[in-house]
Amino acid sequence: MYQESRLLQAIPDTVLLVSRQGILLDFKSSERQPPDLPTSAIGKSISEFFPKSFVEQFQLCCEVALASGDLQSWEYEIPDDHVLHHQEARLTPLGRDQVVVIVRDITHRKQTDDASRHSEQCYKHLIQNLQVGVLIQSPNGEILLSNLGAQRLLDVSETQLLGKRLTELDFEILAKRTLRG
């Protein structure tokens, strides 16, 4: 029992033991993520402490996990002090009528993903609007991105460039087209 307790302390996430009916049997809260469950929560329905959307998804995943024996997971949002937290819940069966739920705060990952997507959009917009021809290649030489300037200069469409290597392009034909223009 001491080893199990130490093991649970090492996990930074919230860990719940819940019955098939949604009754909280035991838990270990995380200090860094909602919901902050009181010790009096044991023996009560999770619907008293979690949003309805969580409870509905929990019930669905609980039935699937208990029937299949497979891990189930989903992501959801939970407001806390006017801040929206993104969380992931992983649920696995423990016996025939209980599940272990590990809840992890993935807010930072979501924010990083959003920032990365935004940065990529800005980068593509910049490249596309440059007045010079730009081709971006992978380390193995495949063309990953071309802008309108490069397409006009080479008199080819983006479809004709993407996935090809510069060595595959017929520069004699391209040169004749460019000289004609």
CA distance 78 to 84: 6
Q: Is 115 part of any domain?
A: no
pLDDT in the model for residue 10? 72
Dump pLDDT digits (tens) for 35-48: 667 778 889 998 98
| Whether residue 146 sits in one domain with residue 76 | no
Average pLDDT over the chain reads 84
Domain that holds residue 138: 125-180
| Whether residue 138 sits in one domain with residue 98 | no
DSSP state of 33: S
| Whether residue 153 sits in one domain with residue 79 | no
Residue 38 vs residue 77, higher pLDDT: 77
> Which residues 6+ apart lie within 8 Å of 73 measured at CB?
61, 88, 89, 90, 91
CATH number, position 79: 3.30.450.20
pLDDT in the model for residue 181? 54
pTM: 0.65
| Whether residue 148 sits in one domain with residue 80 | no
CA distance 57 to 74: 8
pLDDT in the model for residue 43? 93
Q: 88-119: string of b/e by CB count within 10 Å (b at 16+)?
A: bbbbbbeeeebbbbbbbbbbeebeeeeeeeee
Q: Is 118 part of any domain?
A: no
| Whether residue 96 sits in one domain with residue 38 | yes
Q: Is 26 part of any domain?
A: yes
Give the chain's domain count: 2
Please report the beta strands in the chain, taking only residues with DSSP state E, as ranges in sequence order: 14-19, 24-28, 72-80, 83-94, 98-105, 135-137, 143-146
| Whether residue 150 sits in one domain with residue 90 | no
